[in-house]
Structure 1
Amino acid sequence: MKTSFHEGRSLFVALCMAGAGLTACGPDTEWIPEEVTGSTEQALTEGAPLTTHSASCLQLQDQNTWSAYPSYMTPVGPALGLDDIVLDLNRVGPVLSTSRPPAVGYKGGFRWNDGDMATTEWIPQGMTAGVSGSANVAIVAWHYAPTTSPDKGVRISVADISDMSASAVNYRHILLVRPTSSGNFTTIPEHGGGLTWFGNYLYMADTSDGIRVFDLTQIREVNASATCEAALGRVGSVWCAYGYKYVLPQVSAYVVPASIVSPCRPKFSFLGKDTRGTTPVVLSGEYCNNTGTSCPYDGTTPGLGGRLYRWPMDVATNRLKTVNGLVAPEKAYIMNEPNVQGVAPIMTSTSTSSYWLSSTRYGGALFKVSTSASRTAYLSGSLQWARMPEGMHATGSGTNLWTVTEGVSGVTSPATGGRVVFYSAQSSLD
């Protein structure tokens, strides 16, 4: 049944007054009617050029906890920066040599230590990279896999990739948390499917709701003794995080108002960063396939309707650009590709309508896509790309394309599907 604008507006106001959907009920919230597409969506073709998509129905709302959340963490201890963590990396990941994934333009990479290669508790997902002080740093998100309680949420690995000619890369895991009140915090029960990094802010995809933001200058040290291995939050006179030495707290989030529903309401499966054009953007996209994971916009061809959005950045603050607390996407595309897990801009091109898409289609693939041509595919089955690729990061110089892999279940060899972080020459892939 179609709801008129005025009927929908009245219902939305009533729900807000009743206390429902609080993340969407603020003085700056604008009610937006459902996008009228659905049954009229056109058939899609796998491998076709990107299709421009109307995003006029969609907005994100800043939850505006930028001051409150850091204040909640004050009792936990002094704020630390990413520079401090880079000086305290406690794990060693061997640099890849002859045992490495096949990939066109391969230049180098590393694997995790033996425990992280084999663990079934944590699975790598999103990836980003940047500079902290004098160090080049890669950040990888892992989601907690067991279905039993407690859900430990998402952790990140901070890896120093400054010298990839060395024998190993040093890294450390940090648990992501959300402050709940003064001196209290909880885990982030999300998939960690996408990361990107602007200034001091680390952005993470929140599958159902939008984008969470973490401040890399607000890291806190907690107790890492055996007492804390099974505990979270304050325990007596100390704070615990399941044995992790550091926590990275959320500072705010950009959420889709509850009034925006399917098919306008997208999923936020992965993120990327694009500094081409006049305004840098956060890229967000949807994972969908033709079996158990559908997308809101799939037309008559399930699995191909995943959308890619460009969210403008305020370069003065490194936060998304808001008007009255709301963020509108700059542009959107239908990707015409299934099983997309990551996105990176093609930095050797000045066009903002060309991208790399990381996909687990065909067991692993890298797709070069644009609005002007059908895709170019690099397939793992043809020994052109790694198996089970996830998040990506393209260096701003247009030199390297970094990728993290999820890993094939039960496989630890980097050459046949074990978990790795590697980079290829963008020029070899063009």
Structure 2
Amino acid sequence: MFRSHPEYRNLFIATCLAGVGLSGCGPEQEPLLADESPVTGTQALTEGAPLTTHDASCLQLQDQNTWSTYASYMTPVGPALGLSSIVQDLNRAGPMLTSTTHPPAVGYKGGFRWNDGDMSTTDWIPQALTAGVSGSTNVAIVSWHYAPTTAPEKGVRISVADISDMSLSAVNYRHILLVRPTSSGNFTVVPEHGGGLTWFGNYLYMADTSDGMRVFDLTQIREVDTSTTCDTAIGKVGSVWCAYGYKYVLPQVSAYVQPSTITSPCRTKFSFLGKDTRGTTDVVLSGEYCNNGDTPCPYDGSTPGLGGRLYRWPVDSTTYRLKTVSGVVKPERAYIMNEPNVQGVAPIMTTTSTTSYWLSSTRYSGALFKVSTSASRTAYLSGSGQWARMPEGMHATGSGTNLWTVTEGYNGTTNPATGGRVVFFADQASLD
């Protein structure tokens, strides 16, 4: 992640629900497995060591419960459009990678780069990736954060890409601006880093670095005005609605936030997200980016950068919202990753065990780590020609076949073979 850009605070201020304390609410944590023993407190850590089970009983999220309010705010903007409508109106083409243009990666199978403008822009930086199906279309969704600090804030945009047929010459895609409704018929940008995405049902979850997760409804996309009036405007302007020139906006519907009373070291960061469907309950994975510089993280002790924590948040299989009790969500399990600079997570779908993961890292200018609670990591390093430079978000297909990832770009290069921005997938069995 492009860490020189400020990490913006959520526009909401989380407050405790009346009568709800910091413990004893929400689903109970899953029992520990035989190879797990919880560790608490600041400690020295070892890079590459097995995942360490972490006691996260102090942590909770609260549903801000704006689902119906935010949806009603968007009604005057126009008819709600589903993702299936957007995939019929993709306006950009990203050339497929070839044998000479793809980055080195063990198990590489295919991928694409962005168009020339998106490969070279310094205004927008790719961050997170998730994937799913809309109707009969396989779709990848990638988030980009807005990098300029002197221009008006544009927040986060997503790219919706049709990846149904990777044998074509190009992947078609379109950018959509994320917005937050503010009142009836009006909205504003979402000033976040956009470091994590995951997709359940019609809901797109996005990491809110300081506070939790924001949720967007893929059935509530709206078309807005694209005249020159809107190039520099957001929200309602006269009789039209604007989104800095983007044709479509995806509105936030609610958010899950940490109460302001939860402080360090219990309080965590939501740097990246993932999706795990291997257990009895589907979960949103969330994790912390930590490094040995300005972001050491609280559980590092004498080894800054290694104390990033990975959490499993249960999802209701009927509503696709997080499971809550009295509006509160508790993580079912948590780990200390013992890895630095982690940018993305995906389950290892070639096993049913929920104690093993892929971690994407910008350590060593790019790496993929295979980690578990029972063994030291296996590392695939960009410097050894085993993985792409500067990888970010990841998604593992439910079949266990493919592992997808997006890169943010390395040293400004536009050559996809040597660090330019790409989206690609690798064979999990070859990596595993």
Normalising by the smaller structure, the TM-score range is over 0.9
Structure 1 counterpart of 2:29: none
Aligned partner letter, 2:429:
S
Structure 1 counterpart of 2:408: 406
Matches within 5 A, 1:279-428: 279-428=281-430
Pairwise CA RMSD of aligned residues? 1.5
Contact 2:95 2:171 in 1 (8 A): yes
Structure 2 counterpart of 1:11: none
Contact 1:177 1:188 in 2 (8 A): yes
- 1:26 equivalent in alignment to 2:20: no
Instruction: Provide the C-alpha distance between the structure 1 equivalents of 2:107 and 2:19, rounded to a whole number of angstroms.
Output: 48
Distance change >3 Å, CA 146–CA 330, structure 1 → 2: same
Contact 2:62 2:257 in 1 (8 A): yes
Aligned partner letter, 1:60:
L
Structure 2 counterpart of 1:9: none
Q: Name the SS of the counterpart of 2:405 in structure 1.
A: strand
Contact 1:305 1:334 in 2 (8 A): yes
User: C-alpha displacement at 1:32, in angstroms?
Assistant: 5.5
Structure 2 counterpart of 1:211: 213
Distance change >3 Å, CA 316–CA 39, structure 1 → 2: closer
Contact 1:394 1:401 in 2 (8 A): yes
Aligned partner letter, 1:53:
H
Structure 1 counterpart of 2:248: 246
Structure 2 counterpart of 1:178: 180
Contact 1:28 1:325 in 2 (8 A): no
User: C-alpha displacement at 1:294, in angstroms?
Assistant: 2.0
User: C-alpha displacement at 1:109, in angstroms?
Assistant: 0.1
Contact 2:41 2:299 in 1 (8 A): no
Aligned residues: 407
User: C-alpha displacement at 1:409, in angstroms?
Assistant: 2.8
Structure 2 counterpart of 1:4: none
Give 1:100's match in structure 2, choosing from 99, 102, 108.
102
Q: Name the SS of the counterpart of 1:374 in structure 2.
A: coil
Structure 1 counterpart of 2:57: 56
Unaligned runs of 5+ in 2: 1-11, 25-37
User: C-alpha displacement at 1:256, in angstroms?
Assistant: 0.3
Instruction: Provide the C-alpha distance between the structure 1 equivalents of 2:50 and 2:22, rounded to a whole number of angstroms.
Output: 33
Structure 2 counterpart of 1:165: 167
Aligned partner letter, 2:77:
V
User: C-alpha displacement at 1:345, in angstroms?
Assistant: 0.1
Deviations 1:47-81 (A, max 9, x none): 00000000100000000001000100001001000
Aligned partner letter, 1:226:
T
User: C-alpha displacement at 1:38, in angstroms?
Assistant: 12
Instruction: Provide the C-alpha distance between the structure 2 equivalents of 1:123 and 1:284, rounded to a whole number of angstroms.
Output: 20
Instruction: Provide the C-alpha distance between the structure 1 equivalents of 2:179 and 2:314, rounded to a whole number of angstroms.
Output: 26
> TM-score with structure 2 length normalisation?
0.92
Aligned partner letter, 1:342:
G
Distance change >3 Å, CA 77–CA 40, structure 1 → 2: closer
Deviations 1:380-419 (A, max 9, x none): 0000000000000000000000000000132000000000
Structure 1 counterpart of 2:34: none
Unaligned runs of 5+ in 1: 1-20
Structure 2 counterpart of 1:70: 71
Structure with greater helix share of residues: 1
What percentage of aligned pairs have identical amino acids?
A: 81
Structure 2 counterpart of 1:202: 204
Contact 2:39 2:53 in 1 (8 A): no
Q: Name the SS of the counterpart of 1:390 in structure 2.
A: strand
Aligned partner letter, 1:108:
G
Contact 1:38 1:263 in 2 (8 A): no
Structure 1's consecutive aligned runs of 4 or more residues displaced over 6 angstroms after TM superposition are none
Instruction: Provide the C-alpha distance between the structure 2 equivalents of 1:162 and 1:319, rounded to a whole number of angstroms.
Output: 27
Instruction: Provide the C-alpha distance between the structure 2 equivalents of 1:400 and 1:169, rounded to a whole number of angstroms.
Output: 17
Contact 2:40 2:54 in 1 (8 A): no
> TM-score with structure 1 length normalisation?
0.93
User: C-alpha displacement at 1:226, in angstroms?
Assistant: 1.4
Instruction: Provide the C-alpha distance between the structure 2 equivalents of 1:241 and 1:291, rounded to a whole number of angstroms.
Output: 36
Q: Name the SS of the counterpart of 2:74 in structure 1.
A: helix
